[in-house]
């Protein structure tokens, strides 16, 4: 119990005593204070004393619940009347009959017998409310305003800055909102390049046009209502100055955001491993803009290919290559396959045989995160649909005409998507240099090694997994979410000098969607595939999508997608980007 509540309880006890004394005089005259007789307590003065003691205790309860509120006399008295009714029902109609073994039965007859005590209770606590307010006005006065929950102007004593608005960053902010909800002196700021949390598991659905982009993103201001949101790019961390340098736009001057505790959750960016020309000639699939650009580009290519007279150019325009056989690459190539086949109805000039989909992967099997069996299942299923796989080879380079592979093969394509590797976002470099390593390594409590006030979660961090001999945790959304919550817990524990807890999480399972109502899943060792896994994928991810409204919208998108062909509209602003992209990819342009 905090000090102000103790003060209120003390005042309440006094007020209850005053109210009790006033009615006790009348009750004694009525002979009702010898109520302790059934307990064989003598002399009768004990009845008085116990009555007053009861009132003092009740007053303490009243004071600690109702609290002193300056200028709210009527509310305090009104609350006192209600408290009186509950006091009568709880004490006189229930507890005392129980103690004296005379009840309770709560019948009208009992209530009638106890009616004088009802009047007494209502009067006692009505008067106690008056006394409580008067005493509070004199003793506490306007000091009560400073504890008012709506008070503003509370000086900020501690600043927590989170950089990154992905799963890890948002989970940290949400957990901090819970933990610090009654501590307005701690300010939490979330810095994010976008103003939304992107639900990345559904990004391939956006790229394939089955989902509306806005529906897979939750606004940060709605998700983290009590966090200050800054839309900017975190550039570097100045640990000596305890600040993060951010830039809200390319033209804007950099700005330093001071922190007392910093949470780095900047995620990862595509890593092209120094391959010549690849960075400038590929699509990536990290952001909502990436997904919409890719979708618009593909639909734009179909429009152009239909009227393209040169067979080799037409072939190039209708060839779609994806690098990377992990979850992102496999889901994307399957979804692109669905998209293109679904909209062919609008392009009667294109035959199915004109289309070519290729997935390039450096290993011998796709989906290394899943078991061999499910990996083989996915490979067989997608091959049967006509998707080609170039396994055991790497991308060696890219040009305007296509992609060259490490085995010397050249794939002539107008669409090349890179999902083959990631690296921590640039902000991390400023910390790893100071920390002496290449990645943002943390201890088991998620604290960055070498920094007592910096924490890291998600894809940008290397967090040891105690269940796998200290191997790094995999970069999945389910890990990032839990790491964010744990980081918030440990951060607040550190602020309050309490012991921290190590991060420990056993993944629930893995799910990958393979397009056209099929998926593969491994949940707690159980394997699923086909339509059942597809339902599981949709059900689980729909339930994980943040926001009820977004869930409904995505559900409607999916239902419509089942019964109608996909939309092929290319919005105006995006159209110009497509033209640019086409120019970059099309050797004819």
Partner 1 sequence: MTPWPEVRRQVRQILVPGSLAGMIGGIAFGAAMVKLGMLPTVASLVRTDSPVIGFVVHLAIAAIGGSGLTILLRGRWMAGDVVFWGVAYGAFLWFLGPLTLQPLILGRLPTWDVTAAQAAYPSLLGHLIWGATTGFALVAIKARSAPPESSSAAGPPPPTVRLRGVVLRGLVAGLLGFGTIGLLPAGSERMLSPWGAGDAAGLGPLAVALLGATLYAVLHPRSTSTAGAAAVRGAGFGFILWVVGGLTLLPLLRGEGLTWSIMDARTTFPALPGTILFGATTALIYHWLGRLARLFFSDDVGNRSPDAGSWGLRAVGRGAAAGLVGGLLFTLVMVRIGYLPKVADLVGSDSEFVGLVVHFVIAEIIGVSYGVLFRRQAFDQSAAIGWGVSYGFLWWILGPLTLAPVILGTTPAWTVAATSAAFPSLIGHLAYGAGLGLTFHALEARYSPWWITRSDAEAARMAGRRIEAASAGPALWAVLVLVAVLLPVVLSPSP
Binding site for partner 1 (CB under 8 A): 26, 29-30, 65-67, 69, 71-79, 81-86, 89-90, 93-94, 104-109, 111-112, 115-116, 118-120, 122-123, 126, 149-153, 178, 181-182, 184, 187, 226, 228, 546-549
C-alpha span between 416 and 359 (Å, rounded)? 10
Distance of closest approach, residue 266 Cβ to partner 1, in angstroms: 25
Handedness of CA 120, 122, 126, 132 (dihedral sign): positive
Q: Are 49 and 31 in contact (CB under 8 A)?
A: no
Give the length of the chain.
589
Q: Which is nearer to partner 1, 372 or 549 (CB)?
A: 549
Distance of closest approach, residue 164 Cβ to partner 1, in angstroms: 21
Q: Which is nearer to partner 1, 226 or 468 (CB)?
A: 226
User: Position of tokens 């109502």?
Assistant: 517
Q: Which is nearer to partner 1, 142 or 251 (CB)?
A: 142
Nearest to 413 by CA among 391, 395, 436: 395
C-alpha span between 425 and 192 (Å, rounded)? 12
Q: Which is nearer to partner 1, 151 or 583 (CB)?
A: 151
Tokens of 214: 């806005």
CA 359 to chain centre: 33
- Beta-strand pair 158-163/261-264: parallel
C-alpha span between 445 and 501 (Å, rounded)? 6
Q: Which is nearer to partner 1, 222 or 289 (CB)?
A: 222
Q: Where would I find the beta strands (DSSP E) of 302-453? A: 319-323, 356-361, 387-391, 395-398, 402-405, 410-412, 415-418, 422-424, 440-441
Distance of closest approach, residue 318 Cβ to partner 1, in angstroms: 43
Distance of closest approach, residue 64 Cβ to partner 1, in angstroms: 9
- Beta-strand pair 402-405/217-219: unpaired
Distance of closest approach, residue 308 Cβ to partner 1, in angstroms: 47
Q: Which is nearer to partner 1, 65 or 532 (CB)?
A: 65
Distance of closest approach, residue 221 Cβ to partner 1, in angstroms: 12
Distance of closest approach, residue 429 Cβ to partner 1, in angstroms: 33
Distance of closest approach, residue 405 Cβ to partner 1, in angstroms: 47
CA 445 → CA 277, 370, 488, 561, 582, distances in Å? 40, 28, 10, 44, 47
C-alpha span between 557 and 56 (Å, rounded)? 62
Nearest to 360 by CA among 410, 315, 399: 410
Distance of closest approach, residue 152 Cβ to partner 1, in angstroms: 4
**Cis preceding linkage at 227, omega within 30:** no
Distance of closest approach, residue 225 Cβ to partner 1, in angstroms: 8
Q: Which is nearer to partner 1, 92 or 283 (CB)?
A: 92
Distance of closest approach, residue 132 Cβ to partner 1, in angstroms: 12
Rounded to 5°, the CA angle 358-360-364 comes to 120
Q: Which is nearer to partner 1, 72 or 356 (CB)?
A: 72
Q: Which is nearer to partner 1, 26 or 542 (CB)?
A: 26
Q: In what order do the strands lie in the sheet with 261-264?
A: 228-231, 186-192, 158-163, 261-264, 454-456
Q: Which is nearer to partner 1, 351 or 549 (CB)?
A: 549
Tokens of 98: 């129980």
Q: Which is nearer to partner 1, 122 or 487 (CB)?
A: 122
Q: Are 282 and 416 in contact (CB under 8 A)?
A: yes
Measured between its terminal Cα atoms, the distance across the chain in Å is: 74
């Amino acid at each position: 119990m905090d000090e102000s509540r103790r003060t209120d309880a003390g005042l309440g006890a006094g007020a209850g005593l005053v109210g009790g004394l006033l009615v006790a005089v009348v009750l004694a005259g009525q002979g009702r204070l010898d109520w302790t007789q059934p307990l064989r307590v003598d002399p009768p003065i004990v009845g008085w004393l116990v009555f007053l003691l009861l009132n003092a205790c009740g007053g303490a309860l009243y004071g600690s619940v109702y609290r002193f509120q300056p200028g709210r006399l009527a509310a305090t008295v009104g609350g006192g009347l209600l408290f009186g009714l509950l006091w009568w029902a709880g004490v006189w109609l229930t507890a005392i009959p129980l103690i004296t073994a005379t009840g309770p039965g709560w019948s009208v007859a009992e209530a009638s017998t106890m009616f004088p005590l009802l009047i007494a209770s209502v009067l006692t606590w009505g008067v106690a409310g008056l006394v409580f307010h008067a005493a509070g006005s004199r003793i506490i006065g306007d000091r009560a305003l400073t504890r008012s929950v709506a008070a503003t102007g509370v000086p900020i004593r501690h600043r927590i800055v989170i950089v990154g608005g992905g799963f890890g960053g948002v989970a940290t902010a949400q957990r901090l909102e819970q933990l610090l909800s009654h501590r307005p002196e701690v300010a939490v700021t979330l810095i994010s390049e976008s103003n939304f949390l992107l639900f990345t598991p559904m990004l391939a659905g956006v790229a394939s046009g089955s989902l509306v982009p806005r529906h897979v993103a939750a606004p940060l201001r709605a998700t983290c209502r009590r966090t200050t949101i800054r839309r900017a790019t975190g550039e570097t961390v100045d640990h000596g100055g305890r600040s993060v340098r951010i830039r809200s736009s390319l033209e804007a001057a950099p700005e330093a955001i001071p922190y007392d505790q910093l949470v780095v959750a900047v995620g990862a960016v595509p890593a092209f491993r120094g391959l010549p020309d690849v960075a400038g000639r590929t699509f990536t699939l990290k952001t909502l803009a990436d997904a919409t650009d890719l979708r618009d580009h593909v639909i734009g290519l179909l429009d152009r290919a239909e009227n393209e007279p040169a067979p080799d150019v037409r072939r190039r325009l209708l060839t779609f290559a994806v690098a990377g056989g992990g979850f992102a690459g496999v889901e994307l190539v399957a979804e692109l396959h669905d998209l293109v086949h679904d909209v062919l109805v609008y392009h009667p000039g294109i035959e199915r045989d004109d289309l070519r989909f290729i997935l390039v992967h450096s290993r011998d099997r796709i989906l290394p995160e899943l078991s061999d069996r499910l990996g083989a299942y996915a490979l067989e299923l997608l091959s049967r649909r006509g998707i080609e796989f170039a396994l055991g080879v790497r991308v060696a380079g890219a040009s305007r005409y296509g992609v060259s592979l490490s085995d010397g093969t050249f794939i002539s394509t107008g669409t090349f998507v890179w999902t083959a590797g990631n690296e921590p976002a640039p902000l991390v470099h400023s910390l790893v240099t100071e920390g002496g390593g290449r990645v943002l390594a943390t201890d088991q409590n998620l604290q960055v090694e070498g920094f007592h006030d910096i924490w890291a979660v998600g894809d940008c961090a290397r967090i040891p997994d105690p269940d796998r001999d200290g191997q790094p945790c995999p970069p999945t959304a389910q890990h990032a979410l839990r790491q964010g919550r744990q980081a918030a817990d440990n951060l607040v524990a550190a602020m309050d000098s309490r012991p921290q807890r190590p991060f420990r999480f056993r993944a629930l399972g893995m799910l990958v969607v393979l397009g056209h109502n099929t998926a593969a899943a491994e949940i707690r060792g159980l394997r699923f595939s086909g339509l059942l896994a597809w339902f599981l994928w949709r059900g689980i991810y729909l339930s994980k999508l943040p926001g009820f409204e977004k869930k409904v919208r995505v559900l409607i998108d999916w239902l419509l997608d089942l019964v109608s062909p996909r939309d092929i509209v290319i919005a105006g602003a995006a159209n110009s980007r497509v033209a640019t992209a086409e120019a970059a990819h099309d050797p004819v342009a």
